[in-house]
Amino acid sequence: MAGDAELFAGVWRLVSYETREADGAASQPFGPDAVGMLIYTRDGSMSGQVMRRGREGREAGAEGYIAYCGSYRVDEEAGEVIHRVEASLYPGWVGSEQRREYAFAGTRLTLSAKLRRKGRQIVSRLEWERERNPLDR
């Protein structure tokens, strides 16, 4: 890996998860205290999880949780990281490519995606803080 791809390697902790609708309305789908971890390895593997605190029961647990893993590659020209999903809480994501725009600022990584939910266009934005970087060793 070279260039921006090297910057991804490491463990990241979720700082915030926000969605914004076309009219500018913002929300925090998993609340203000969502928890998450994102791991990128130097050899191209990735795993990500995000959860809402205080989930109770199996159904609420699944609704308030995002989890998937697989491989990734970086398209610097497009400014995207592409996650190739091998396993996911959402069966429809298995075998898919989840594309995320990315931006680095100091020890922070922001991933954004344009999505359609219930017929509406939204932008999902997750901000991550680097916990540790295997290149620091």
What pLDDT is stored for residue 2 in this prediction? 53
pLDDT digits (tens, 9 = 90+) for 103-130: 999 999 999 999 877 788 899 999 999 9
What pLDDT is stored for residue 102 in this prediction? 97
What's the pLDDT band for 1 if we cut at 50, 70, 90? very low
pLDDT digits (tens, 9 = 90+) for 75-108: 999 999 999 999 999 999 999 999 999 999 999 9
Model pTM score: 0.88
What residue segments make up the domains of the chain, in order of their start?
A: 4-136
CATH number belonging to domain 4-136: 2.40.128.280
Residue with tokens 């076309």: 22
pLDDT digits (tens, 9 = 90+) for 14-73: 999 999 998 888 999 999 999 999 999 999 999 999 999 988 877 777 888 999 999 999
